[in-house]
Chain A
Amino acid sequence: MQIVDKNNPPAEWIEALRKRYPCEAEVDRTLTRKMYRRAGPGYTPVPLETLIKGTESLLRAELKGDFEISDARWLSGGASKLQMAFSLTWNRPGTGREKAPMVLRMEPAESIVETSRLREFQLIKAFDGIVPVPPVVAVDVNGDHLPYPAMVYGFAQGVTKPSNSTSKTTGMGTYIAPEWRAKLGPQFVDCLAKIHNRNIPSAGLTAFDPPQPGTLCQELALNMWERIWEEDSDEDIPLLRLANVWLRENAPPCAKPVILHCDYRMGNFLFTEHDAKITAILDWEMARLGDHHHDLAWTSANSYGHYAEDNKTFLVGGFMSRPEFFDAYQKASGNTVDPKTLYYYKVYTAYVQGVISVSTTYRIARNGKTHQDVLQAWIMGYGYKMMDDLRVLLEQGA
């Protein structure tokens, strides 16, 4: 059996994986970059001053006219990227001179999900005016200006959870009190429906391979996750091996691929408490084109909701029961929910969650690649519950 040192991956092994698991071009670029940099240094703390200078360099290249950065400070939240809040005094196109709050979102050396800033930038731009998103300003695709790839967008007001809620990590397990459910739940569903109904050709998504009806979108997604598993995993897990074969054999054809958020859940949107309005959908980095059932399965997964006060009814996102969620979605989107396809994507969701939480978290914490390795190590513990969800799902279908 071939043993590869994944912490110092040989070029021929990286290239063999690229050949074995063809992915979308931008995904391939992002993962390949990660692998060729893996043997390099881990993440070391970046002074705020370095980020300010890098942001100035990026904005000088992207913006017309003079500008000024002030009030820079660190932002916390999320398991994936570093964030710096700052004020930008600039001439906003169509508005004129203003001082606006902004966010720099930058990758660490490796991330719990290694994704493309260009794709994220294009997506947020594509949804401006369709669902609440922060206005995007600039993107540093290859880290030419900043230590790592990054993007700048407007600071959205709001919170990720009500003040009277409790949660575990990165929004998982957030308890939503009954008074918030009716206020936020319908908006939550409505935004998802709008995301899925966004016209793709007019969205300017050049960093995405054009969607194809059939199973190709899903094959590419499975290739990506199997490749990530090979790149990042430490000990092998027969259950995930078997699940991958099952997912490849049972991929349902998709007649009409849509834009998928791929991490649509509590913790990944902001809302203002005084009027209970969703102000920004965030964290688009895993988005792809594919079957709308993927988002439905992900959003309604056990990890991203909790049980109601009766201890029996599972609430999607903490808002509404699964039947209520699917019914509201169908009404809002016009898309149908097919139970068999939904089941497939539930298995897929649990598989992906297993890959992320057990393999990538291990690899990046092992190599000191992030600004919060201790959080990555902590999340590893959740992987077993997610994989048990996968086991139960396969058992139900077997």
Chain B
Amino acid sequence: MQLRPDISIHAMIKSLTDAVLPAVDPNNKLALEQLQLTIGLLSMMEQRMPLEFKFDCDELDRLLGFAVELKRHARGGEALADLVASETQGADVRRRAQASPAEVVAANRALRAASGAVAASAYRDGTPEQRAAIMKTVLSMSGQQLLRDRAWVMPQGWEAQPELVPPIADLLATS
């Protein structure tokens, strides 16, 4: 998936700064202020988005430590039971959240590059049977991936028959 928020935000900031801001009536103070705030918030999103997951994991780590400390000092009761349940659940989530989104993206990119190279060379040099198998495998994988890519950009309205593309949430729910 190539059309990510980072590239979109980057382009939106440039458009607003270079094309829209100079065109706003300088006497329309409200519009000017709203636009400058919008550019400012988008700029902050662009900078902070790559750190969002780390920020959340860091917070979860500290909250888990906080819960351990609280348990040592608190008396029993319903509230403490809720805290223990939340701590157990949170610890489980933290165990499973070991790789960052950036690492997942990097792994995808490495696999794309390596499999693209292998698919091309194997198809070029293979026997007719191997070539047919490679073609079938690439087309099958591409069909699944492109369905998700198309569902991802569905709000843009490119599809002639949008009813044939399932919602992205449904497609991702099955993975």
Contact = CB atoms under 8 A, between A and B. Distances in A.
B84 to A, nearest CB: 43
Contacts of B114: 1
B110 interface: yes
Query: Which one of A44, A173, A244, A383 has the highest number of Cβ atoms from chain B below 10 Å of its Cβ?
Result: A383
A387 B142 contact: yes
Interface string B66-77: 000000000000
Interface stretch (A143-151, A180-188, A194-202, A371-379): A371-379
A97 B34 CA distance: 50
B157 interface: yes
Nearest to B117: A241
B120 interface: yes
B18 A45 contact: yes
B117 to A, nearest CB: 7
A45 B108 contact: no
Contacts of A241: 116-117, 119-120
A168 B120 contact: no
Nearest to A366: B7
A381 B1 CA distance: 10
Interface string B9-20: 011101100110
B141 A235 contact: no
Contacts of B134: 242
Query: Which one of A240, A242, A394 has the highest number of Cβ atoms from chain B below 10 Å of its Cβ?
Result: A242
Interface stretch (B24-32, B49-57, B89-97, B146-154): B146-154
A385 B159 contact: yes
B2 interface: yes
A384 B146 CA distance: 6
Contact of B138 (A1, A238, A382, A384): A238
Contacts of B113: 1, 235-236
Contact of A237 (B18, B112, B136, B160): B112
A307 interface: yes
B17 to A, nearest CB: 9
B142 A239 contact: yes
A43 B51 CA distance: 28
A1 B113 CA distance: 9
Contacts of A387: 142, 146, 149
Nearest to A380: B3
Nearest to B111: A236
Interface in B97-132: 108-110, 112-117, 119-120, 123-124, 132
Contacts of B110: 1
A179 interface: no
Nearest to A44: B18
Given A236-B113, A237-B112, A242-B120, 4 more contacts: A239-B138, A302-B160, A388-B143, A398-B135
